[in-house]
Structure 1
Amino acid sequence: MASLQRSLGRTQEAMDQISSGKQLRRPSDSPTGTVTALQLRGEVRANKKYSANADDAVGRLGTMQDTLQSVTDRLQKVRQLTLEAANAGGGSTPEANRARAEEIDQIKGTLVQYANTKYLDRPVFGGSTPDSTAYTGGGKYEGEQAGQTLRAIGPNAKVRVDVRGPEVFGTDAALDANGDPVLDGDGEPVPNEQQLFRVLDRLSRAMRDGDAGGIKTGLENLDIATEKVKSTLSDVGARYNRVTQMKQSAEDRLMSVSSQLSDIEDVDLPKAIMELQLQQTSYQAALAATAKVIQPSLIDFLR
């Protein structure tokens, strides 16, 4: 009878494994396997989080990369117009310069829109600002002045996923060697003449006024501002590449860890089915043997 009960228990265990699909259902099934499974589950959760953070970083950096590329293209058009206006030869008439100035004004409006580009309804060049825009219509920065937005994309690996507007388009005020605003005699910040939107305003004004010196100075400042945008674009592109590589690494690690966890927890279904059939056969044999060994009669019942 004891053997019969043990056989029935093994049959029930095989049925439980098949129905649950797990060979590790409680710590007593395998204490060492339980510890390993808990560690692997922790790694699975961590890599899922790294992958999700990388997806967010790719979205943000990709948006900034596309926007900065568009900004660069528009600035090339501005430079072409400025060179035409600075040309002393044909085509540099007051009427033509006024038309160029009007086009530069329109380009400035487009660039301000680019500066307010959003990702998930937040301006990508505004830092962590809660506002819906990073720049006013006139091109003045009103986003966060300091701080960085970071994302953990791997063990001990964090990447910055934001670029504040002044880092791209220039600060509103001129800065000294220590990064502090330069003040005039009245204690007011001195405007930064190389701030992109101010450069465009001064170029437009110089073209309308026929100021050849102003156009030349504007062209120099425009080249400096354009170089700043290109440098930022290069930095964003490098960060984008790093995030995509780390994202792939996290997904590969997640697949590997999930496979290891499955080896520990999940049941080998064909093997479990064969084990169930074996135990059922064994149980039926035990029943048959028991019936032959113990043959109760009516007298046994009456006793």
Structure 2
Amino acid sequence: MAINLRVTQQSIATRVMTGLQGNLGRIGDLQQQLSSGKILSRPSDSPTGTVSAMQLRGEMRATQQHARNAEDGLGWLNTIDSTLTSVSTQVNRVRDLTLQANSAGASSAPEAREALAVEVENIREALIALANTRYLDRPVFGGTTAGGAAYDANGAYVGDAGRVYRTVGDGTKVRVDANGPEAFGTGPQQLFNVLTSIATNMRENAGSLGGDLDNLDGVISSIRTQLADVGARANRVTNMRQTAEDRLLTLKTQLSDVEDIDLPETIMQLKLQEVAYQAALAATAKVVQPSLMDFLR
């Protein structure tokens, strides 16, 4: 037996208003997306998309930090490279002076030997200043020392044996400092001690300059080794920085795919919803058109 349901104007109006409100809600959502440019404005819009966006943003922050670390590391390494290059130039000048004094021997005039010794001493003071070169107020040859210098005025090392590292990738750390003793030697073969000995022997014992030359060549070799090592580390950090920047671009693209709207498609959807809303309004006007006044006429 069929059951006949009674349909009233009130029930029709209720269903129509519910449909219109739903249509308006969809138009409002599309307008919100167009105004913000984002598909996701709250987690309920897409729980899975929200999780993906959060993961991508977390990876972006880590990658940005790696890029900043690499930039800071390059600042250290470039400072060391330019300093060691200057040191190498001045040490080579000392070697030329030492060869000149050794060739002349004790037969040269005392005034000439004194002039050579004074120049070597001036170069020594300049080299101590270079050995105390700082980056962001930290001595690049002083290890992890909290002091402001790696060497004192007499050329004695006052830093420590600590090493400075920067994390430039997931599980990738690169050393960005250069320890003073590794670059300038230790004991009698330390650069500043060798220069003191050279200046003294120029004045008093030119025959001992041959041994000083051997020690000086050892220091020059250490400086060249350090320069090669610093250059290799700088290349590695540069590559890691480029890798981080490339990865950041990829992550931004992926995040845009998750969060950002497709502008042409969203505009088209909005226009379709507006047309549908206008059609619904027109249909509603015809459905609920009769009123009590129509029957009283």
Q: TM-score higher than 0.5 here?
A: yes
Which has the larger Rg?
Answer: 2
Aligned match for 2:77, one of 57, 61, 78:
61
1:66-121 CA distances to partner (integer Å, 9 max, x unpaired)?
00011001111000000000104799432211111100011011101110111111
Residue 166 of structure 1: how far off its partner (Å): 1.3
Aligned match for 2:50, one of 34, 46, 49:
34
Structure 1 segment 1-303 matched on structure 2, within 5 A: 1=16, 2-88=18-104, 92-143=108-159, 145-171=160-186, 192-209=187-204, 211-295=205-289, 297=291, 299=293
Letter paired with 2:128: V
3-state SS in 2 of match to 1:61: helix
- Contact 1:202–1:214 at 8 Å: present in 2 too? no
Distance in 2 between residues matched to 1:71 and 1:23, nearest whole Å: 59
Distance in 1 between residues matched to 2:99 and 2:231, nearest whole Å: 29
- Contact 1:135–1:141 at 8 Å: present in 2 too? yes
Q: Percent identity?
A: 54
What TM-score, normalized by structure 2, do the two folds share?
0.89
3-state SS in 2 of match to 1:257: helix
Say how many residue pairs are matched. 279
Shift of the 167–296 alpha-carbon distance from structure 1 to 2, 3 Å rule, reads: farther
Residue 298 of structure 1: how far off its partner (Å): 5.8
- Contact 2:38–2:261 at 8 Å: present in 1 too? yes
- Contact 1:84–1:91 at 8 Å: present in 2 too? no
1:218-264 CA distances to partner (integer Å, 9 max, x unpaired)?
11111111111111111111000000011001000100111011011
Letter paired with 2:176: V
Distance in 2 between residues matched to 1:110 and 1:277, nearest whole Å: 75
Residue 299 of structure 1: how far off its partner (Å): 3.7
Residue 9 of structure 1: how far off its partner (Å): 1.1
Structure 1: which 5+ residue stretches go unaligned?
172-191
What TM-score, normalized by structure 1, do the two folds share?
0.88
- Contact 1:86–1:92 at 8 Å: present in 2 too? no
Letter paired with 1:149: V
Letter paired with 1:212: A
3-state SS in 1 of match to 2:48: helix
Structure 2: which 5+ residue stretches go unaligned?
1-15
Residue 282 of structure 1: how far off its partner (Å): 1.2
1:116-175 CA distances to partner (integer Å, 9 max, x unpaired)?
1111111111122222211111111111x222111110111110011121111123xxxx
Residue 291 of structure 1: how far off its partner (Å): 0.9
Distance in 2 between residues matched to 1:47 and 1:164, nearest whole Å: 29
Letter paired with 1:238: A
